[in-house]
């Protein structure tokens, strides 16, 4: 059947259409994206303003039309941290439902981490052993660890690249004091979770997902996306540590000139790099591998599992 996943994220509203059936690998058929940056549209009270809600409704309508055009049989719509943490989340969800007939399921941070972990496990298989999975989104950071398809530990922290950039890095380039303050904040938040994972022992394989990690790997020398999904891409901590001060000294326009860095995400790259560096350092990770599957694929796989059980 043709499935569609509508992901209302903190940066992007993304419709992914796949051809899938239980027991088979989902095959991408179409992708439709709109940059919305909900995490940066929150007002001082933490609510998504009227303009942001109007834009969200319009983008969901566009995605619905694209899904219909592509013959999607079953649409799985969900929202993540920007909607989850908005103080007017219920009103936003009601407006989307009233004007589009789309019932957005709001995932908890732990659910995000577990579904992303499932996707990574399926991609690498059982031979990967104990997995540590790290995902940096626009609004939150997810970390999960385990040896099965359900992680033994999963946490979500409010350390998304978009959120941190909007709240803590106002300059372009940012002031060095702001960078140091953000670095300290990020490390304090992540350090609180390390003990929850260390009791399970060292992972056999460390994996990262998300556009932030893909861009960091690319500027560090990893293969271009045009070379395909199955090329191994790694990010080494030593390389990342060398890039952080360089990114901090650049303007967004200068970062956008780097290989693999999109103009719309260039402003967030430094905050994402600080989070990635802190996670790799505090979890004592020298190198990690980039996985092309993440949350959207996890949602699809969970749906297919339920279909297979029916």
Q: Coil, helix or strand for 71?
A: coil
CA atoms within 13 A on the CB side of 270: 30
Sheet holding 234-236, edge to edge: 153-157, 141-146, 131-136, 205-209, 287-290, 234-236
Largest CA distance in the chain: 56
Q: Stretch 51-75: mean pLDDT, rounded? A: 96
**pLDDT (0 to 100) of residue 306:** 86
The predicted model scores a pTM of: 0.95
Separation between Cα atoms, residue 95 and residue 207, nearest integer Å? 37
Q: What is the pLDDT of residues 212-246, one digit of tens each?
A: 999 999 999 999 999 999 999 999 999 999 999 99
Angle between helices 269-282 and 176-198 (to 10 degrees): 40
The confidence band for 310, taking pLDDT boundaries of 50, 70 and 90, is: low
Q: What is the pLDDT of residues 85-99, one digit of tens each?
A: 999 999 999 999 999
Q: Stretch 27-48: mean pLDDT, rounded? A: 89
DSSP string, 215-244: HHHHHTTPPPGGG-TTS--EEEHHHHHHHH
Question: Cα 257 to chain center, whole Å?
Answer: 22
Q: Stretch 167-191: mean pLDDT, rounded? A: 97
Residue reference for tokens 């970390």: 143
**pLDDT (0 to 100) of residue 42:** 81
Q: Are 280 and 237 in contact (CB under 8 A)?
A: yes
């Amino acid at each position: 059947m043709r499935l569609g996943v509508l992901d209302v994220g903190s940066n992007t509203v993304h419709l992914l259409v796949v051809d899938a059936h239980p027991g088979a690998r989902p095959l991408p058929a179409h992708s439709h994206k709109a940059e919305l940056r909900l995490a940066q549209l929150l007002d001082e009270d933490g609510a998504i303003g009227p303009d942001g809600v109007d834009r969200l409704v319009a983008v969901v309508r566009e995605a619905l039309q694209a899904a219909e055009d592509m013959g999607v049989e079953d649409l799985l719509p969900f929202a993540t941290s920007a909607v989850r943490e908005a103080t007017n989340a219920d009103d936003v969800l009601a407006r989307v439902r009233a004007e589009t007939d789309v019932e957005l399921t709001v995932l908890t941070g732990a659910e995000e981490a577990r579904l992303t972990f499932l996707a990574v496990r399926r991609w690498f298989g059982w031979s990967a052993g104990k997995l540590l999975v790290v995902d940096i989104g626009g609004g939150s950071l997810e970390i999960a660890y385990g040896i099965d398809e359900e992680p033994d530990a999963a946490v979500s922290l409010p350390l998304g690249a978009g959120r941190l950039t909007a709240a803590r890095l106002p300059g372009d380039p940012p002031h060095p004091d702001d960078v140091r303050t953000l670095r300290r904040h990020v490390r304090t938040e992540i350090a609180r979770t390390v003990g929850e994972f260390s009791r399970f022992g060292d992972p056999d394989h460390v994996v990262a997902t998300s556009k932030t990690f893909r861009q960091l790997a690319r500027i560090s020398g990893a293969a271009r996306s045009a070379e395909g999904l199955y090329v191994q891409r790694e990010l080494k901590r030593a390389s990342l540590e060398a890039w952080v001060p360089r990114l901090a000294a650049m303007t967004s326009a200068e970062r956008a000139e780097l290989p693999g860095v999109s103009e719309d995400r260039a402003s967030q790259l430094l905050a994402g790099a600080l989070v990635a560096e802190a996670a790799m350092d505090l979890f004592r990770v020298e190198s990690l591998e980039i996985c092309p599957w993440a949350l959207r694929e996890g949602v699809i796989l969970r749906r297919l599992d339920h279909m297979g059980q029916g």
